[in-house]
Structure 1
């Protein structure tokens, strides 16, 4: 990998943990600890993204090299680099958790390629000083889910980390998948994740909680200098602009989540990126039937804090924690409060525009809010597949009858026999208004459908699809991982050869482990 241009800005400019032993501990007055990955016994490359490799300066030929295998499995260290784990804190499920840090992630290095900077990070590469009671390893099932999902999200147009490689470690890892006292050995695996940086809201929370204000000031100035160079002005002005930029980027990310029906599942402040990119794919899921109260996370099944419909409010709550963290550098609450208040106001405005565009409505009328609200209600009366409904809605034309329009979306219903009497009447009423509303649009039916199909994906990574790939991979068959990887690179295209994946969740997946609810070990 001769073209990798190493640039260790994070470790050369920020305070390091002077203790270089790999023992679990509280790490103070430092933003990271040096730590080497645990060497895997017999690594094997399952899959790698040529696109991401080229992004960071690795050629397709180099992917097949022994050097690539060794470096991105953690077996060898790149020359002129020192791997490290980051120290940060966070709020988990609304409660302050104190120091967290990279418990199963190790940053290999930062590289520069074509005037862009990327951090290369191994997930599942072994214990760090932040692993607490865990082993820092990852298993095949969670690694397949992360590897595929990050790339799926990128091609959906959702801000995200990227996936470079997926490897088997050759070692067995003990996991209790449902936290119910039934641990079992699983295949160990390692994913290489790529992002501009892995700086989180919790990175700033940690420094303020410990009153390390000198480090806080140094860290925010480092972050602005390298990742938000467009921000200028006096220090206090810069800090406020930084917060506003992070809020805006976060709002854009959440808007995309809601657009495609993605539920993160564990929106703790340590899982929120200052770049406004989706990080830490654990118990995530896509809505199958449209249900704003759905969360895929077993840990959250009672309170549903991180349910689909609550993601905008949680993003604001997390930003409030970030505001508290940088407040000591500003010492004035109102400017921060103004940004926080505008977050939801701006989100609601953007959400309305986005939702109407999913309906193929690109002008604005006074009845639009009611049309949206009524649709969100009727979508929940009987189980209706979100992805299939919105994709098929593009086939509805202005001069269609209500009956004809209904036929075009009917395969989105999970229980078709329910669509009768009262439920049918609700749909009839909604489609009657919608068809009249379409006539206000200047676009032709074909032009409108084309625009809608760039907004409403045909293919998303449903949990049952991931589980099928995981089950096959567990038997040594990686063909399904490759098939899904190819499918999800073009989620808005018809791809008739992959039509079988444009389908509702099968009945067997309704309550199967890994297909409905998942734990944080997922």
Structure 2
């Protein structure tokens, strides 16, 4: 493959002085050299051509034996030294110490069209940071990560990308439910791509060890390569934190817009570039429930539930501020940035929700209309994606009947899981809200068609629901990858009508309500 290697991470940052691949605490180093574990019988499942183009890899090259070898860990790119990053993190609110790339190995950095990309294999074997794990990944989690990375990009959400999905040919032992019943599963490798995979935890680990020298080296590297408008001094470090906070906020607003729940917003899973990273027990809202989390580990306390993602983003930024403080030694500017996050998030959330409702004019009633909608959406199980997509077809001439008729909900009726509950208090609230919404639409200058066209660019028709991913996984476990191919194609254009894909624009089936992988997921991979 004729790609241009331009490694900066290994050239500009301190490396682990120990070169053996043994589990250990790594100090005064940003990474450890480690090569991928060779796989037994690698096989391609899917390649994202658009991501290959980002790297300067041609379609012909993606079909080559060299491509297969490199992106399954069996061959290194010329003049490269793969590595795993050292970082720590707060997990579920508690400092976990050193974590690091336990099953991710960075192959190299590639320069193409004046843009730099880091290529990383996920599931490529043990590293010094694997702790008690094997560093491998299984097919089910790899399919979920591969499809979701590209689905999120096509939704317009900042994210890492995925280049390829491959079988390793190896069997991997996993306890999917953490119930003491492990079993062998198919091993797989996803090739991930991003400008950088640096996380909040990369900075936290050095602050926690009071290794301010290495902390400064890493921060200066980050500014030179990813925040070049920030000077390498105290003022620049403050500006850096401000920009990270803005990117983080904007990313989470996009999550809320499309109904995405990350599921495990630990600080080691927070990108310093404001990208969605580490697709583990994620999920999309089915019923509109701000208290929902897809993560079984989080089922009791629901720390990472949908409605708390904005607050957790702020909490994580506070931990990053604490890590950067030794280089700034002033709390006030950091506190000001955190306070600004709160007010900005509220304003941007209001603006985002207005857009989802097709409202463009200012009105003092907007905030209450949105709050009341969120209340009534939760009174009976209502599918978020279908409701907002179909709301665009509601006319500003709609008449809400006085009697207990449901005709005024005809356009959004498909969103209700239990339409028989649309009576009494629930129906009263829906009639009140829809009457006020139509009144607001009548204040808008846009025609119904113009409003629908705009709303359809904001409210996706197709998202990667957990049951859809599980259908692809079940088929793939039988060596049938057609659903992976089909979903990848549909999710490339999530805002388009795609009538041929209409079957994927549907509520979660009842069989998926409690099925493993469809309702909640563990971190098992």
Task: Output the TM-score relative to the length of structure 2.
Answer: 0.98
Alpha-carbon distance between aligned partners in 2 of 1:457 and 1:261, rounded to the nearest angstrom: 10
What corresponds to 1:342 in structure 2? 340
- Name segments (4+ residues, structure 1) moved above 2 Å: 402-405
Alpha-carbon distance between aligned partners in 1 of 2:449 and 2:366, rounded to the nearest angstrom: 22
What corresponds to 1:514 in structure 2? 517
Write out per-residue CA displacement over residues 281-308 of structure 1, whole angstroms, 9 at most, x where no aligned residue.
0000000000000000000000000000
What corresponds to 1:127 in structure 2? 126
What corresponds to 1:309 in structure 2? 307
What corresponds to 1:59 in structure 2? 58
SS in 2 for 1:493: coil
Alpha-carbon distance between aligned partners in 2 of 1:256 and 1:101, rounded to the nearest angstrom: 27
Matching of residues 51-130 of structure 1 within 5 Å: 51-130=50-129
Q: Out of 443, 447, 459, which is 1:444 matched to?
A: 447
Q: Out of 215, 233, 256, which is 1:258 matched to?
A: 256
Alpha-carbon distance between aligned partners in 1 of 2:407 and 2:490, rounded to the nearest angstrom: 30
- 1:370 Cα deviation after fit: 1.0
- 1:268 Cα deviation after fit: 0.2
What corresponds to 1:408 in structure 2? 411
What corresponds to 1:398 in structure 2? 396
Write out per-residue CA displacement over residues 113-142 of structure 1, whole angstroms, 9 at most, x where no aligned residue.
000000000000000000000000000000
Alpha-carbon distance between aligned partners in 1 of 2:56 and 2:228, rounded to the nearest angstrom: 23
Matching of residues 126-145 of structure 1 within 5 Å: 126-145=125-144
What corresponds to 1:219 in structure 2? 218
- 1:229 Cα deviation after fit: 1.0
- 1:9 Cα deviation after fit: 0.4
What corresponds to 1:460 in structure 2? 463
- 1:404 Cα deviation after fit: 4.5
Write out per-residue CA displacement over residues 37-83 of structure 1, whole angstroms, 9 at most, x where no aligned residue.
01000000100001000111100000100000000000111110010
SS in 2 for 1:37: coil
What corresponds to 1:420 in structure 2? 423
- 1:421 Cα deviation after fit: 2.0
What corresponds to 1:150 in structure 2? 149
Alpha-carbon distance between aligned partners in 2 of 1:364 and 1:145, rounded to the nearest angstrom: 40
SS in 1 for 2:275: coil
Alpha-carbon distance between aligned partners in 1 of 2:356 and 2:49, rounded to the nearest angstrom: 32
Alpha-carbon distance between aligned partners in 2 of 1:128 and 1:218, rounded to the nearest angstrom: 23
Task: Output the TM-score relative to the length of structure 1.
Answer: 0.99
- 1:364 Cα deviation after fit: 1.3
What value does the CA root-mean-square deviation take over the aligned residues?
A: 0.7
Q: Which range is displaced more, 361-370 or 467-476?
A: 361-370
What corresponds to 1:283 in structure 2? 281
Q: Out of 478, 502, 505, which is 2:508 matched to?
A: 505
SS in 2 for 1:187: strand
What corresponds to 1:332 in structure 2? 330
- 1:211 Cα deviation after fit: 1.1
- 1:380 Cα deviation after fit: 0.4
SS in 2 for 1:388: helix
Alpha-carbon distance between aligned partners in 2 of 1:344 and 1:363, rounded to the nearest angstrom: 24
Matched, 1:183 2:187: no
SS in 2 for 1:173: strand
- 1:479 Cα deviation after fit: 0.6
Q: Which range is displaced more, 383-392 or 419-428?
A: 419-428
- 1:423 Cα deviation after fit: 1.1
- 1:401 Cα deviation after fit: 1.5
